[in-house]
Amino acid sequence: MIKEIAFTAYPANDVAGLRKWYEDKLGLKFSGPYEEEGVEKYNEANVGGGYFSVLTTEWADRAPGSASGVVFEVDDIDKTVADLRGKGVTVEDPYATPVCKITSFTDGEGNKVSLHQVTVPH
């Protein structure tokens, strides 16, 4: 039945603005906008083997700030947190579990984003 995750979608009032936020803060590279009447409605960035997408609230049928499911894997969570804080992002202090470190923050439209670093391969 299920063979893979196609994409994760985060809602935005301003797709172009939120896309730029992810480009500036996290360095994501988006493939190019889908526009209607000159307004960016959808865009996606390839991350590993999947896609992270931002789309209009109408298409997502969700309000900005309601998404919370994406967790990006990073090589060095402490460095990434420092980089984000240097860019003005308020990031929670990372906490350790028996197999990883994890932290969270909100994006430019209030959606929850998490970062994860494996510390014990499993």
Quote the CA–CA distance of 26 and 94 in Å, as a whole number.
17
Complete domains list, the chain, with CATH: 8-118 (3.10.180.10)
Quote the CA–CA distance of 70 and 112 in Å, as a whole number.
8
**Residue 9, token pair as written in the block:** 């979608």
- Are the beta carbons of 14 and 99 closer than 8 angstroms? no
Quote the CA–CA distance of 51 and 91 in Å, as a whole number.
23
The pLDDT value recorded for residue 122 is: 78
The pLDDT value recorded for residue 121 is: 84
SS3 of residue 53 by DSSP: strand
As averages over each run of 10 residues, the pLDDT of the chain (122 residues) reads 89 98 98 95 95 96 94 97 98 97 98 96 81
Quote the CA–CA distance of 39 and 51 in Å, as a whole number.
21
The pLDDT value recorded for residue 40 is: 97
The pLDDT value recorded for residue 38 is: 94
The pLDDT value recorded for residue 3 is: 86
The pLDDT value recorded for residue 13 is: 97
Query: Across the strands, what pairs with 115?
Result: 72, 103
The pLDDT value recorded for residue 92 is: 98
Quote the CA–CA distance of 14 and 97 in Å, as a whole number.
35
The pLDDT value recorded for residue 16 is: 98
SS3 of residue 100 by DSSP: strand
